[in-house]
Amino acid sequence: MRMSQNTSTSQALLDHARSVTPGGVNSPVRAFRAVGGTPRFIREAKGPWLTDVDGNRYVDLICSWGPMILGHADPRVMDAVQQAASRGFSFGTPSENEVALATEIVSRVEPVEQVRLVSSGTEATMSAIRLARGATQRSKIVKFAGCYHGHVDALLAFAGSGLATFALPDSAGVPASSAGETIVLPYNDVDALDAAFAEHGDEVAAVITEASPGNMGVVPPVPGFTKALRDITTKHGALLISDEVMTGFRCSAAGWFGHEGQQGETAPDLFTFGKVMGGGFPAAAFGGRRDLMELLAPDGPVYQAGTLAGNPIATAAGLATLQACTPEVYAHLDRVAHTIADAASSELMKAGVPHQVQWASSMFSIFFTDEAVTNYDGAKKQDIHAFARFFDAMLAQGVHLPPSSFEAWFVSASHDDEAVAHIVEALPTAARAAASTDSA
Ligand code: PLP
């Protein structure tokens, strides 16, 4: 089944990388542990195409896990980056692009009156949690199993399913005292939410949720769930933090909040952003109501800072990216995503492989299961081995999917007819591989 593809240089790099970096990678999912095989070391990328160090080409459906919404090395972003770089790399003083990027975000997402720029989504959620705790003088946080908010100690807790449980740390090194302040609930379960608030409502600083989860695969909120989050937090004096690091500026010009269309009813108190707003560079943000944001240093008592926060090159890239995200771009993303997902679904159906395609605007994932997935327990029921065979066959034919079945597939404005045709051609073989019980 495996087609011949020379990966010897990637393998040699991985072997060497393992001696100087844990697992040979700088972020665990890159190591291909969920799918097996050799992670490809990418030498360069242009538009929708990745080229690895052995010269193999792949259509990219990772898009750097979301940021590359325009495709790789977009000339407009390249130009902005080169111009910014020619004026210096980092000043440690305020600079103009920071204000421009903050203004762009504030103008798009209506409840966001102020933003603070940071360098990663993890920093954004960590800082939003601190701000929520500072604002409410409470310490507990509610999160949902299967939602990922970066590797913040208090948010690495998954816990089991069912009613509110105090989480066990999901990672070694997270003190029980830290995870113990986190209540983990099943996603899309209003009864569990009610029960947790009935018991702990006056201790909860904030509920943090992915606006539409993409980190257990794509599992959108069921109708009314986001509204229930808003209502219960308001009733108990807790804040609602919507993590739009993945969905922000991807699901619409105003992210999932703009896409969902229940705006007034569900407006969160705080948002977090990342990925697309950095255009492939390290830029992220958290923001929200002015009265909350003014609690941050230097105006208020909640400390937060960053040497490279608002970096002039990252902000130039982010600004150029957001400005290029026109309505036509969003329409293109939708079209391309649907073409790919429909073709994949049709081939899987022909091959007799049970699956579900799930959507959040143009973000989608395919679960290898015959039941709709509404929470993390449902996501875990999928056939991860079938996905691994599917992934392997796609990769061998030059299509790079995210190397895990718990991830969204990302498309870009640069995914043109040629790239889509290349994906569609690879699907029948991959679907048959998914159906096969022989090891790929
Ligand atoms: N929040 C969400 C929803 C994410 O998807 C991620 C990363 O994938 C993060 C936070 C953390 O962002 P970063 O990896 O930039 O720290």
176, part of any domain: yes
Is the CB of residue 153 less than 8 Å from the CB of residue 179?
yes
- The side-by-side arrangement of strands in the sheet containing 284-288 is 114-118, 284-288, 270-273, 239-244, 204-210, 140-144, 182-185, 165-166
Is there a single domain that holds both residue 183 and residue 293?
A: yes
Is there a single domain that holds both residue 198 and residue 260?
A: yes
263, part of any domain: yes
Is there a single domain that holds both residue 113 and residue 38?
A: no
Q: What is the CA radius of gyration of the chain?
A: 21
Task: With H, G, I as helix, E, B as strand and everything else as coil, classify residue 23.
Answer: helix
Out of 140, 189, 275, 376, the active site residue is: 275
Per-residue pLDDT, 173: 85
* pTM of the full structure: 0.96
Out of 52, 153, 243, 383, the active site residue is: 243
66, part of any domain: no
Is there a single domain that holds both residue 371 and residue 430?
A: yes
Is there a single domain that holds both residue 277 and residue 143?
A: yes
273, part of any domain: yes
Q: Which domain holds residue 404?
A: 8-61+326-435
DSSP 47: B
Is there a single domain that holds both residue 315 and residue 348?
A: no
Sorted by sequence, the CB contacts under 8 Å of residue 294 that are 6+ apart come out as: 114, 300
Is there a single domain that holds both residue 220 and residue 298?
A: yes
- Residue type for position 397: Q
Is there a single domain that holds both residue 141 and residue 26?
A: no
CA gap 275, 409 in Å, rounded: 14
* C-alpha angle 183-185-186 in degrees, rounded to nearest 5: 165
CA gap 182, 318 in Å, rounded: 32
The residue behind tokens 């209540």 is: 183
Token digits for 80?
A: 């902005």
Per-residue pLDDT, 166: 46
Out of 58, 148, 187, 376, the active site residue is: 148
- Where is the domain boundary, 324, 355, 384? 324
Is there a single domain that holds both residue 137 and residue 149?
A: yes
- Expressed in angstroms and rounded, the spacing between residue 129 Cα and the centre of ligand 1 is 14
The domain that contains 44 carries what CATH number? 3.90.1150.10
Per-residue pLDDT, 332: 98
Is there a single domain that holds both residue 38 and residue 117?
A: no
Give percent helix, percent strand, percent coil of the chain, each to the nearest 5. Answer: 45, 15, 40
- Confirm whether 148 is a catalytic residue: yes
Sorted by sequence, the CB contacts under 8 Å of residue 172 that are 6+ apart come out as: none
- Residue type for position 53: V
Is there a single domain that holds both residue 312 and residue 348?
A: no
- Where is the domain boundary, 292, 324, 356? 324
- Compute CA 113 distance to the chain's CA centroid, rounded to the nearest angstrom: 23
69, part of any domain: no
Sorted by sequence, the CB contacts under 8 Å of residue 33 that are 6+ apart come out as: none
**Nearest residue to 67 via CA among 416, 414, 412, 423:** 412
* C-alpha angle 333-111-154 in degrees, rounded to nearest 5: 85
Token digits for 114?
A: 């102020």
pLDDT in tens, the chain (440 residues): 445 799 999 999 999 999 999 999 999 889 998 899 999 999 999 999 999 999 999 999 999 999 999 999 999 999 999 999 999 999 999 999 999 999 999 999 999 999 999 999 999 999 999 999 999 999 999 999 999 999 888 888 763 333 334 445 567 888 888 888 999 999 999 999 999 999 999 999 999 999 999 999 999 999 999 999 999 999 999 999 999 999 999 999 999 999 876 666 789 999 999 999 999 999 999 999 999 999 999 999 999 999 999 999 999 999 999 999 999 999 999 999 999 999 999 999 999 999 999 999 999 999 999 999 999 999 999 999 999 999 999 999 999 999 999 999 999 999 999 999 999 999 999 999 999 975 44
Per-residue pLDDT, 164: 36
Q: Is any atom of ligand 1 closer than 6 Å to the C-beta of 149?
A: yes
Question: What is the domain count for the chain?
Answer: 2
- Count of other CB atoms within 10 angstroms of residue 94: 8
The domain that contains 211 carries what CATH number? 3.40.640.10
CA gap 386, 382 in Å, rounded: 9
Query: For ligand 1, what atom is nearest to the CA of residue 147?
Result: 3
Q: Are strands 42-46 and 49-52 parallel, antiparallel or unpaired?
A: antiparallel
Is there a single domain that holds both residue 111 and residue 174?
A: yes
3, part of any domain: no
374, part of any domain: yes
Examine the predicted complex and report whether its ipTM is higher than 0.90.
Answer: yes
10 Å CB burial of residue 334 (0-12, 13-18, 19+) is middle
CA gap 104, 324 in Å, rounded: 12
- Where is the domain boundary, 274, 290, 324? 324
Per-residue pLDDT, 262: 60
Q: Is any atom of ligand 1 closer than 6 Å to the C-beta of 251?
A: no
Is the CB of residue 246 less than 8 Å from the CB of residue 214?
yes
68, part of any domain: no
Per-residue pLDDT, 246: 97
3-state secondary structure 275-322: HHHHCCCCCEEEEECHHHHCCECCCCCECCCCCCCCCHHHHHHHHHHH
